[in-house]
Structure 1
Amino acid sequence: MAQTVLLDVSGVLYQGSRAIPGAVQALSRLRAAGRQVRCLTNSTRRPKRRIVAKLQDLGFDIQPEEVFTPVAAALAWLERTGHSPHLLVHPALEEEFRGCKDGGPPAVVIGDAGEAFSYDNMNRAFRVLLEGAPLIALADNRVFLDGDGRLSLDAGPFIKVLEFAGDAKPKLFGKPDPEFFRAAVASTGAEPQQAAMIGDDAESDVAGALAAGLAAGYLVRTGKYRKGDESRCKPAPTATVADVQEAVDRLLAQDGE
């Protein structure tokens, strides 16, 4: 039985400014069936407080401690190692790093910076890497579904540029890093083999979760999903379903509920 269910946020629970039809009810059904729920997002264009507020405004029964973002793990690493962040992130995310120490050895921290991915900003980060700074990647997704309904470049391609030019191996903190999934599952008291993932990204969400040892990974045909995604990544999804409602149907039916 999947005691814990992990869900991606954008593309699974909501798209743009609206909840995906049936998603609020699907989350409620999981809770009513006694499942622990955690939301995992690689979104790095807004701080966690705004992600939680948006979910709550859309009607989702979600508390801050149930939402996992890569930033918290990166902040813990910075504090543990004594590094100071050289930020290449979206301006809206900078508030998350205001409490970081100054004066430590620099670490380049990169997220989805959007318009801040200018040549000057990329080149400054590149030069910091040349001095030996580590490269901290908050997420390495290739693309995301933009507000106009079309795919746009995410942080992944820009991380590859710095990795290539700066000869720096990035340290990843978001999906598909196995520890990101395992930390979310561990917060519920479950083991990875007692958890399932529901996502719209075959690579980062589903294959990443299965590689981390989760029992099941469901790929939804909402959000960034494109026809044939289920055959492009290994491990393959447990099932490809219409939406989060169908994923929850299957999970609960598998457990005889």
Structure 2
Amino acid sequence: MRVNWIPIKIIVLLLVLAGLFGFANYRVNSKSIEDIQIKFLGDNNLYLTEEAVNKLLIQNHGSVKNRSKDAIILNDIEEVIEANPMVKNAQVYLSVKGELISEIQLRKPIARIAGVDQFYLDDIGERMPLSKYHSARVPLITGKISGEALKDVYKILEHVNLDEFLRKNIIGIHIEDKGSYILKLRLENFEVRLGGAEDLDHKFKNFIAFYLKATKDKTLNAYAAISLEFDNQVVCTKL
């Protein structure tokens, strides 16, 4: 009776390969971490530093460098980094060269709140603490600060940030009583009375059209206030 050796050879080969893979994997995991890299993703990377992240890791996990790879729990490190109020999300992984790499995306402030408490409003409408490393150049929010008012402010800024002209020219929003808002401009002395946070598309389109025409006519300096509060109208108050 002839024995078919081919299946047996295949099984033996697979066992040998599995053993080699397991041994190689063991060798890789038993190696120590040779270096730590902190990478901030995107251009919004000024509100936290590599030194601060390394200090955070040391405080929670001790020195990570020179520890064996299999002693490191990557999810725990991600959770520690993401617990920092400046961090939006983090991904931590090990490279084949023995590096512990942390890729971090920071939160993005879109306004600074100047109330009893000082803080930022981020790009999803959540409160964000000020950073000791960098001060963001964003519109300043003043006046009657409240949770409901900040929802309106976020809605207004969403529209502002979609338009280059508005984004460059609006540097502040003042909150008045009863949900009424005043826009502060970068170069002009007059204020823009927006009214409520409804019908913003029409209000901003009307304002841009007025501004461009008044610039062409060289009449901007004649106004003390511009009101967008009335339906489909721009009402001007002269000095």
Fold shared by both chains (TM-score > 0.5): no
Larger radius of gyration: 2
Q: TM-score, normalised by structure 1?
A: 0.24
- Larger RCO: 1 or 2 (CA < 8 Å, sep 6+): 1
The structure carrying a bigger strand percent of its residues is 2
Q: TM-score, normalised by structure 2?
A: 0.25
